[in-house]
Every structure is written in C-alpha cells, then in structure tokens.
Amino acid sequence: MTQNLTILFDLDGTIINTAPDLMAAHNHVMRKFGYEEKKMSDIKALAGKGAWVMMQRSFKEKINDENLKKNMTKEFIEYYSKNIDTHSKPVNGLIDFLKWAKSKKINMAVCTNKQENLSKDLLVKLDLIKYFDFVAGCDTFDYNKPDARHLTNVVEILEGNLEKTVMVGDSEVDEMAAINAKLPFILVKDGYTGKIPSEIKHDHLIKDYINFDKIIKNYL
C-alpha cells in the first residue's frame, strides 16, 4: 500500500495571519506595565517563540524579575485568549488548498510553538480544525521546535512516514526543525521572522497557498 503524504504546518504567519491580534495583546501588556508599545513590523520579527520571549525581545534591557515575567505572561495569555480571532485570518488560498489536500487523503498537522489550547481555540474559531489530524503546541510534548522530535513525534502519532513528510513554515525556527528532522522545507515568504528568505534554507518559497497543490504534487 502506498504511504500517504504528511504535511506539517507551523501556525502563526504560516497558515494564519495572527500578527494583528498578537500585536494587540503585546501592546496591551506593554501599556499596563509601563513599557514601550511596538508596531506591526516589530511584532512579526518578535513572534514565534512564545509570549514571554516575544515580550522579552521588546525590552532594551533583559528582565530577570521572575514574578514580573510571570505576571506579564499571564496578562498576555489572558488578553490574547479573549481576543484571539478578532483580526486573525487564514493566509490567502489556504482553505481551498486544505480542501484539495483532504480530497487526496493527505495527512495534515499543526506543529507550533504557540500553546496547544490557544492553537486549537484559534483553529476552531476560524473553522480550520476539521482539516487537521493533530495539533502539537509548545506544551504538547516535553520539547518543541527546533527540536526534531516536535515534528517526528507527530508523524509517528499519525502513523506516517518521515520519507513522505514535508514541513511548511515561515521562520528560521521552522527551518531548523525541518533540518533536524531531515524533512523538505517549504518557506512562506513575509512571515514572522527578522530574516529575509535568502537567509533561511528552503526547498520551495511561497507567498500564499494559491497553486500550492502544484508543489505538493511533487511529493505525492
């Protein structure tokens, strides 16, 4: 029997444009605790490694107060969870691609460094959860991207084959996860990273999911 293809997707900046809602939550916390707010371009470069890391990168000086870190992160998650889908939208062409992939019996999963419950909540609210066979967040396992196991464990759960798996992401974190797992990597242009595409090793570069099926057919 021919093994079905598995596609692993990052979430923020890869399949959903979440930057507006991340920025709103980030700046809410900054205002409340007396720190400088950030603009959209800053948020895109800061996102991808979790709430506290994103906020920590915003400060000119490193904050070591563990209680302050805890309170700011809690405030971020509480605000963000209540406003998670206010402005977030699927990347152009995504839904048509997901429908096509499902018709081809392609396994699909989300591997993100966002918390699992927040990831699932967002996917539910945008009516995307039905397309994915598994969602792995930063707290699903004892490890996350760029650790290869964040990807390989999901493939194992789906009873897939690593030789029939591709990773789609928008940052160097996704790149390194794919490299560590020895998977082909498809880079989404203009994602949530401070790097330009030429600085991130990739097998294919896309700006959205229009005609993405033509690339995926190469792996079927």
Of 220, 12, 29, 215, which Cα lies nearest the Cα of 119? 12
- Report whether the peptide linkage leading into residue 146 is cis, meaning its omega lies within 30 degrees of zero: yes
Based on the residue annotation, tell me whether 10 is a catalytic residue of this protein.
yes
Q: What are phi and psi of 100, to 5 degrees?
A: -65, -45
Judge contact between 176 and 168, C-beta under 8 A.
no
The one catalytic residue in 10, 21, 170, 174 is: 10
How many Cα neighbours within 13 Å face the side chain of 23? 17
Find all residues with CB under 8 Å of 211, minimum gap 6, and list them. 93
The b-or-e profile of 25-62 (16+ CB within 10 A means b, else e) is bbbbbbeeeebeebeeebbbbbbbbbbbebbbebeeee
Of 5, 13, 6, which Cα lies nearest the Cα of 122? 13
Dihedral sign of CA atoms 11, 121, 123, 110 in order: positive
Positions marked catalytic: 10
